[in-house]
Amino acid sequence: MVTLKDIKKGGKKYPPRIVAHGVDGIGKSTFGSQAEKPIFICTEDGATRLDVPQFPLCEKWEEVFDALRVLAREDHDYKTCVVDTADWAQHLAMDFIIREEYEGDGTKFDAYGAGYKVLMREWRKFLAALDFLRTKRSMEIILLVHTSIKAYRNPLGEDYDVFKASLVDSQSTSIWGALKEWADLVLFMNNEVKVKTNSQKATKGKATMMQKRYIFTKPSAAYDAKVRAGWDLPDKVELDYEIFKASLNKKAAKKTEVA
């Protein structure tokens, strides 16, 4: 029986659940490889060029769960589970549902949106398995997601382009919405371009374009980002895991000191 004596401030601090999305080639896999003692669950071959521990390429949804079970049950010293990428994991889940639920007929998956309801069920099982690694094995979780530019139909004014994660995101079924709700940190990775005009005398009026990769943490009309309460980050950080983690830890330490 619960009493008032059982009330405590705060709770156990677990490692963060990170969703990192950005355009192709921005450095998502490299970011994950820089985490503490990472192990990759690869659903595509983007990380094969990296010298980082990784399971054999997952070509089926069942193989993703096989890898998660190994990390849950066997002894190991890995500290971070990196899924590269979540959008290809989604494809594997859809293929699995079509095979198991609809006898290989993709049209039945799409009919009346029935398959997407099953997809959401499978996706929540996937997130629950990741949560087990986080809470029972104290592993940080990093999910990498591709992003593309899509047109946004603005009911209040002119339409404009936005960066959208390559995941199902509709009013009836939103894998992306479930992922954002689950995550502690949603990080958007992109280049920031600045044009610097040098002196007329030195360069004959030519401008220099400077480009730098950043992690953006504050939500914007152009992209999704999020920092859940209890975590703290600047609005943008250089795209480097060590710089990111130092900033995250520095903010957390400062908040603890004030408290």
Looking up residue 235, the CATH number of its domain turns out to be: 3.40.50
Residue 1, in any domain of the structure? no
Residue 130, in any domain of the structure? yes
pLDDT in tens, 165-221: 999 998 889 999 999 999 999 999 999 877 666 655 555 556 666 689 999 999 999
What pLDDT does residue 34 have? Answer: 96
228-243 core/surface letters (b: 16 or more CB in 10 A; e: else): eeebebeebbebbbee
Q: Would you call 252 exposed, middle or buried from its count of C-beta atoms within 10 A (0-12, 13-18, 19+)? A: middle
Alpha helices in the chain (DSSP H): 28-33, 61-73, 86-101, 106-110, 114-136, 175-182, 200-203, 241-258
What pLDDT does residue 216 have? Answer: 96
Pairing of strands 160-165, 17-22: unpaired
Q: How far apart are CA 127 and CA 70, in angstroms?
A: 16
Name every residue whose Cβ is closer than 8 Å to that of residue 20 and which is 6 or more positions away in sequence.
28, 31, 32, 142, 143, 144, 145, 187, 189, 215
Residue 206, in any domain of the structure? yes
Determine the structural domain holding residue 36 and report its residue range.
14-258
Angle between helices 61-73 and 86-101 (to 10 degrees): 110
pLDDT in tens, 131-144: 999 999 999 999 99
What pLDDT does residue 207 have? Answer: 61
Q: Would you call 84 exposed, middle or buried from its count of C-beta atoms within 10 A (0-12, 13-18, 19+)? A: buried
Q: How far apart are CA 30 and CA 38, in angstroms?
A: 11
DSSP states along 83-98: EE-HHHHHHHHHHHHH
Average pLDDT over all residues of the chain: 89
pLDDT at 37 over 50: yes
Q: How far apart are CA 10 and CA 220, in angstroms?
A: 30
Q: Hey, which of 152-156, 188-192, 229-233 has the most confident mean pLDDT?
A: 188-192
Residue 29, in any domain of the structure? yes
Tally the domains of the chain: 1
| HEC assignment per residue over 170-192 | CCCCEHHHHHHHHCCEEEEEEEE
Q: Which amino acid is at 27?
A: G
Rounded (to 5) percent helix, strand, coil in the chain: 40, 25, 35
- In this predicted model, which residue has the larger pLDDT, 5 or 258? 5
pLDDT in tens, 65-83: 999 999 999 999 999 999 9
| Placement of tokens 């890898």 in the chain | 67
pLDDT in tens, 93-112: 999 999 999 999 999 998 87
